[in-house]
Structure 1
Amino acid sequence: MVLHPPPHQHEQFILKSALYSRLLVLSLTITWRILASPYDSSAPLNLPCLTANHTHTHTLPQSQTLLLPKLASALENGIVWDSVYFVRIAQCGGYEYEQTYAFLPLLPISISFLSRFLSPIFAPFVGHRAVLAFSGYLICNVAFVFAALYLYRLSMIILKDPEIALRATILFCFNPASIFYSSIYSESLYALLSFAGLYYFVKGGNNLASLFFALSGCARSNGVLNAGYLCFQTMHRAYNAMFQQKRTALALGTVIAGALRSVFVFAPFVAFQAYGYYNMCKGRLPDELRPWCKARVPLLYNYIQSHYWGVGFLKYFQLKQLPNFLLASPVLSVALYSVVYYAKSRPENFFSLGFRTSIEEKSSGVVFLSDDFYRSKKAGNVDKSSVKAKGIFV
């Protein structure tokens, strides 16, 4: 029989579990790198930056040797796969090549910022690039720990069961894709910002939630999809204001507020695409322009993903990817079963997109409630007589 700590101790238990899981993943990673040669041999590559204006300000002279060369080598050997791009952008202070624009700026900026404080102390021991690698590992693993904490808090609100929330978070801490959360990769930052945004969203803090959602879009491109939560809420609130409360002005204000928040979430990604267009297309001769520069909507990100990595709609569904699908099949099966189970058990809610949800369920979640109703609910002044026993209340 497994004993769990009482609910008031769950958060402390979650923090410890998340920390121990990161130490376990990092230990296994180091062990396997010692026992086997890495598949990706790009770690030793460290070409000079193309411009002189970069953050490589604490590099030691070539004549001076590092005090801890083995530690420096171990840290730099962890710069593989996408980590090469993130560290390169942080090291050189910008985007030098077209393909680097596939990597959004939040993680490189964070690495560069932290390394500025660590380099004067640690660069003489391991060198500046190793400090960049250490900064990346520290940021990603600390972000994961706080992501786990926010996931637990979010699960507590949605599931309303401390034990289930705890188990869900522990599964997240020891999930099969843990290596992505402990490597120099944007997944941990994205998870932290998305979970935090959703936590404040269900708590009623839409403006703060929008800020976290927008920051998630600075970490990964799919952060813009978090605007969908705001759109869904706006749809329900506007419907309630228009058809239940018969308040056209409130419905219009709700739509405008939701649209502004959604635009705010999209803004960082759009701004980054404009930044790429300015750097790669502006001021060039017509025969020098890349194909995407001439497109009606010059979207750099989609072109890079398709041209350099063959990423696109349904392009991943190839016979050679069958082993990866088999690896993912347990989790995919559980997810599919959960969706089918909910659809069968609550078909009216599922197929109506929540519009036919019961009054009791809607009154327990901020997603469906109007701002006025939510404020009254928190203050304990809900006038239930104004709520119809049947029909749609949002």
Structure 2
Amino acid sequence: MSLDKRASALVSRAASSASSYVENQIWAVVKYAVLSRIVSLALGAVSNAFVEDYDSSLSVFIRPIGKVSQGSLAFVIFERLAQGLAKIIVRWDAFYFVHIADAGYVYEQEHAFFPLLPLLMRVLVATVLSPVASAIGRKLALVVAGVLISNTAFVLAAATLYKLGCRSLGSNRLAYVSALMFVIAPSNMFMSAVYTESLFALLVFTAMLLITYERYLLAALFLGASGLCRSNGPIYAGFFLWNLLVRTEAWVPLTTGQSVSWWRKAGTLLSRGLYSLILVSVSSAGFVAFEIFGRRELCRHLTGVSATEQRLYCTDKLSTVYGFVQNKYWDVGFLRYYSLEQMPNFLLASPMILLSVAGLWTFAARNPVQFVSLGWLQQRPKKTEATVSPAVAASEAFFSRELLPHMYLWAVLLLVAATSMHVQVITRFFSGLPAVFWFAGHAVASSSPSSSLVDANRRWMQWAVVGYFVGYGLVGAVLFSNFFPPA
């Protein structure tokens, strides 16, 4: 065999081995994600059997809980299981999603909840689950559909986060550990309930993964769908602006090659700007469509009503239905949550806030010049050893320049959560933020051979992060299943 053929065979074998390794890790992430959903639902069921609910609204919402259909034994068993599932899943916001899926948008306050999940639930019940719906009732079938969608989306989101980590971090190990941190996220039960967190995470993780392959238009379509899922979906369109207009690599063709005329460079820049505008518009289309729908449905009922009784969103084009509803019914607004009676909720949110501050500080402190200059300026790197262990390589992966836009997004959403939201929901609000799990993975996967004191500090950090993720998630599952706050 010639030298070239041997080299080609070795390269092919190495590529095959690497591909097999990644595939095995993906299946491991999927396995643990499924296991985590089983454990969470089982814990919720057991705790619900022994703890009296804080609120018994479910008995009014799905009547009657104890009565089963007279069909085959299989359907009787399935209905019992569905009723038991409803007792631990239909809590807090889930009531709204199930009602919207069943009856549409009836009340003004329901416009705080986006339509993609209810629409998918309705489609599933009208197609795959139609035999089930006829046997156990439409509402119970909608609950089953919502649970199937959320849990399937969670498993797929975990696998997608791993793939995104491999692309963005350059470390399969850190990507794997970070995906496992997502699997045990503090938002635990919300990811299995009839909530939008899992579906939203899947959509934005997929969009960000597509962006790393520069498949921008398809990524924008996913972000557009995410805007039908949660209000913060369009914010992720900032990645298009970053890739096309901000990052230094995008400017290389415009700053080199003196033979290219200035007007061609100007044309290239203009075309990028227009393309970015199109991508941002597509990414915002879902949110805008829902807003138009809300104005049309709500404002047409106010025809002939005096100006003093008109809703602001019907008279002011800059006002939104979503913002009005959040303001009126949930008292959401800048610094409105800052009161003494809300101190317990700030304490509940403090671990995630501290984790976020630590993550942002850790990243920025490594290369502050790079961080404040949007990556345009680089701090001279310190000398390192010629060889590094896999552990050190994983710890260094968190400081990749590819993570800059993720850090800026994290900082913006942290500011929003801390000043303008019900702060206790920050754990599930951040469930669609890869940087949170990358830093958690960094804290858990990193090690240092430098000194026993450093190792002791790192071990403390590892136990603190894992303890918070697991402990908060398990306690949250018990509280959620029995209708106790926070929600």
* TM-score bucket (shorter structure): 0.7 to 0.9
Is 1:286 the counterpart of 2:305? The answer is yes
Which moved further from structure 2: 119-128 or 306-315? 119-128
Structure 1 residue 126 displacement after superposition: 2.3
CA distance in 2, matches of 1:257, 1:358: 32
The correspondence for 2:35, drawn from 6, 11, 20, is 20
The correspondence for 2:95, drawn from 60, 66, 84, is 84
Is 1:319 the counterpart of 2:340? The answer is yes
Mark the CA change 1:356 to 1:244 in structure 2 (over 3 Å): closer, same or farther.
Answer: farther
Is 1:35 the counterpart of 2:54? The answer is no
Mark the CA change 1:28 to 1:175 in structure 2 (over 3 Å): closer, same or farther.
Answer: same
SS in 1 for 2:173: helix
1:347 aligned residue: 368
Q: Tell me if the contact between 1:104 and 1:220 (Cα under 8 Å) persists in the aligned partners.
A: yes
Structure 1 residue 212 displacement after superposition: 1.1
Fraction of identical pairs, as percent: 32
Q: Tell me if the contact between 1:71 and 1:126 (Cα under 8 Å) persists in the aligned partners.
A: no
Is 1:103 the counterpart of 2:113? The answer is yes
Q: Tell me if the contact between 1:200 and 1:209 (Cα under 8 Å) persists in the aligned partners.
A: yes
Q: Tell me if the contact between 1:118 and 1:131 (Cα under 8 Å) persists in the aligned partners.
A: no
CA distance in 2, matches of 1:359, 1:199: 30
2:327 aligned residue: 306
Q: Which residues of 2 match residues 221-300 of structure 1 at below 5 A?
A: 221-236=231-246, 246=262, 247-282=265-300, 284-287=303-306, 289-300=310-321
CA distance in 2, matches of 1:331, 1:248: 44
CA distance in 2, matches of 1:148, 1:184: 18
Structure 2 portions without partners, runs of 5+: 1-19, 382-396, 406-487
Structure 1 residue 35 displacement after superposition: 1.4
Which moved further from structure 2: 287-296 or 329-338? 287-296
Structure 1 residue 115 displacement after superposition: 0.8
Q: Which residues of 2 match residues 1-394 of structure 1 at below 5 A?
A: 6-46=21-61, 67=76, 70-77=80-87, 78-92=89-103, 94-236=104-246, 246=262, 247-282=265-300, 284-287=303-306, 289-357=310-378
CA distance in 2, matches of 1:366, 1:26: 34
Structure 1 residue 32 displacement after superposition: 1.6
RMSD over aligned CA atoms reads: 3.0
Which moved further from structure 2: 18-27 or 281-290? 281-290
Q: Tell me if the contact between 2:62 and 2:139 (Cα under 8 Å) persists in the aligned partners.
A: no
Deviations 1:155-206 (A, max 9, x none): 1111111111111110110111111101100000000001000011112111
Letter in 2 for 1:353: L
Q: Tell me if the contact between 1:87 and 1:132 (Cα under 8 Å) persists in the aligned partners.
A: yes
Letter in 2 for 1:90: A
Mark the CA change 1:159 to 1:137 in structure 2 (over 3 Å): closer, same or farther.
Answer: same
CA distance in 2, matches of 1:211, 1:103: 20
Letter in 2 for 1:293: C
Which moved further from structure 2: 282-291 or 307-316? 282-291
CA distance in 1, matches of 2:62, 2:340: 36
Letter in 1 for 2:356: A
Structure 1 runs of 4+ off > 6 angstroms?
A: 358-361
Letter in 1 for 2:106: E
Q: Tell me if the contact between 2:36 and 2:183 (Cα under 8 Å) persists in the aligned partners.
A: yes
Structure 1 portions without partners, runs of 5+: 49-61, 369-394
Letter in 2 for 1:168: S
CA distance in 1, matches of 2:350, 2:27: 32
Mark the CA change 1:239 to 1:320 in structure 2 (over 3 Å): closer, same or farther.
Answer: farther
Mark the CA change 1:277 to 1:349 in structure 2 (over 3 Å): closer, same or farther.
Answer: same
Q: Tell me if the contact between 2:237 and 2:283 (Cα under 8 Å) persists in the aligned partners.
A: yes
Aligned residues: 349
CA distance in 2, matches of 1:63, 1:129: 14
1 or 2, which has the higher helix percentage? Answer: 2
Letter in 2 for 1:30: A
CA distance in 2, matches of 1:37, 1:63: 22
Q: Tell me if the contact between 2:223 and 2:233 (Cα under 8 Å) persists in the aligned partners.
A: yes
Letter in 2 for 1:20: L
Letter in 1 for 2:210: Y
Deviations 1:351-393 (A, max 9, x none): 00112259999x996999xxxxxxxxxxxxxxxxxxxxxxxxx
SS in 2 for 1:340: helix
Structure 1 residue 274 displacement after superposition: 0.9
CA distance in 2, matches of 1:329, 1:244: 48
Mark the CA change 1:154 to 1:357 in structure 2 (over 3 Å): closer, same or farther.
Answer: farther
CA distance in 1, matches of 2:346, 2:358: 17
Q: Tell me if the contact between 1:137 and 1:184 (Cα under 8 Å) persists in the aligned partners.
A: yes
CA distance in 1, matches of 2:157, 2:38: 16
Structure 1 residue 236 displacement after superposition: 1.9
Mark the CA change 1:329 to 1:276 in structure 2 (over 3 Å): closer, same or farther.
Answer: same
Letter in 2 for 1:268: G
What's the TM-score, normalizing by structure 1? 0.81
Which moved further from structure 2: 171-180 or 278-287? 278-287
CA distance in 1, matches of 2:83, 2:68: 18
Q: Tell me if the contact between 1:85 and 1:103 (Cα under 8 Å) persists in the aligned partners.
A: yes
Mark the CA change 1:345 to 1:301 in structure 2 (over 3 Å): closer, same or farther.
Answer: same
Letter in 1 for 2:97: F
